[in-house]
């Protein structure tokens, strides 16, 4: 963890992951790009929309016995509704993405090694493909619009951009997401998880749901 301050409003910035590249100031909503030794102000981040998500920055949970903290967020708008990819830190050394929307949860990790995947146009629901030797089936192909980001993120976020994405289901709980907004596409592999198994704390509270 390192400390710094927002070049726009001077508020203190806490950086929890080494991977953090983009920071959104919690006080003035400035988008800050972290470079070598300085922080560049890219202007104001777009506003997040109320999507009823029970998660928030600072929420904690565990996955396969390893505790994590939610440090960043990308809010996406799919034809089927809002979906969030929450950037989570497993104690600084490892990061993952907690996907969440409509009460469904996934935990995926960015593949660091190159994984060959078919082109966007070749994808369709039901198509089978192999990722790291495991057979996956495409369950959804859609374009998601990035609404806004929050907290710290490992890459730049262009609000309003359309991300061509595909969801895949593997054996058992295996799950993967292919993000074609970058070249080569980003491959996230992990699993579907159940809310109760995440043992989340520091969640948002809702009226009538305490």
Partner 1 sequence: MKPEAKKGHAPAALVRAVKCTKCGAPIELRNVQSLSVVCGSCGSVLDARDPSLAVLATVHRQNKRVPMIPLGSKGRLKGELFQCIGFMTRKTYIEGSDYFWNEYLLFNPYKGYRWLVEYQGHWTSVKPAHLTPEASGSGYLFFGEFYKHFQTCQAQVWYVIGEFYWQVEAGDKATLEDYVCPPNILSLEKAPGETSWSVGTYVEGREVWEAFALAGDPPAPSGIAPAQPSPTGSDGAKVWAHMAAFLLIALLIHGLIDSISLKKRVYMNSFQYSSAETEKSKVTDFFELPGRTSNVIVRTSAAVDNHWLFNAYALINEQTGTAYDFGREVGYYHGVDDGEAWSEGAQVDEVVLSSVPAGKYYLRIEPQTDLPQVTYTVEVRRDEPQFFVFGIVVALLLLPPIVLQFRQHSFEVRRWAESDHPMTEEE
In this structure, is the dihedral angle defined by the CA atoms of residues 142, 198, 62 and 200, taken in order, positive or negative? positive
| Smallest distance, partner 1 to C-beta of residue 182, A | 25
| Smallest distance, partner 1 to C-beta of residue 115, A | 20
Q: Which two tokens stand for residue 65?
A: 């016995």
Strands 2-5 and 81-90: unpaired
Alpha-carbon distance 30 to 21, whole Å? 14
Give the alpha-carbon dihedral of 156, 76, 163, 175, to 10 degrees.
100
**Region from 84-92, 102-110, 156-164, 179-187 binding partner 1, contact rule CB under 8 A:** 102-110
Q: Is 192 in the site for partner 1 (CB under 8 A)?
A: yes
Alpha-carbon distance 24 to 116, whole Å? 33
Q: Is 46 in the site for partner 1 (CB under 8 A)?
A: no
The residue (of 116 and 202) whose beta carbon lies closer to partner 1 is: 202
Q: Is 170 in the site for partner 1 (CB under 8 A)?
A: yes
DSSP state of 11: -
Q: Which of 21, 26, 46, 115 binds partner 1 (CB under 8 A)?
A: 26
Q: Is 121 in the site for partner 1 (CB under 8 A)?
A: no
Phi, psi of 55 (to 5 degrees): -90, 165
Q: Is 194 in the site for partner 1 (CB under 8 A)?
A: yes
User: Where along the sequence are the contacts to partner 1 (CB under 8 A)?
Assistant: 26-27, 50-52, 54, 56-58, 80-82, 101-104, 125-126, 139-140, 150-151, 169-174, 192-196, 200, 202-210
């Amino acid at each position: 963890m390192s400390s710094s301050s927002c070049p726009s409003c001077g508020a203190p910035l806490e950086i929890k992951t080494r991977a953090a590249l983009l920071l959104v100031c919690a006080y003035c909503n400035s988008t800050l790009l972290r470079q070598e030794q300085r922080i560049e102000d890219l202007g104001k981040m777009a506003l997040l929309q109320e999507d009823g998500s029970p998660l928030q920055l600072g929420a904690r949970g565990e996955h396969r016995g390893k505790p994590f903290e939610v440090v960043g967020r990308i809010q996406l708008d799919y034809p089927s509704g809002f979906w969030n990819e929450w950037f989570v830190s497993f104690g600084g050394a490892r990061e993952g993405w907690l996907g969440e929307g409509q009460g469904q949860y996934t935990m995926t990790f960015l593949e660091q090694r190159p994984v060959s995947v078919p082109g966007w146009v070749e994808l369709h629901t039901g198509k089978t493909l192999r990722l790291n030797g495991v057979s996956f089936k495409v369950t959804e192909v859609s374009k998601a619009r990035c609404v806004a980001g929050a907290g710290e993120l490992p890459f730049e976020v262009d609000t309003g951009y359309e991300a061509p994405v595909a969801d895949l289901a593997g054996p058992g709980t295996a799950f993967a997401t292919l993000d074609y907004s970058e070249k080569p596409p980003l491959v996230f592999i992990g699993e579907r998880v159940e809310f109760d198994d995440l043992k989340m704390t520091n969640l948002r509270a809702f009226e009538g749901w305490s």
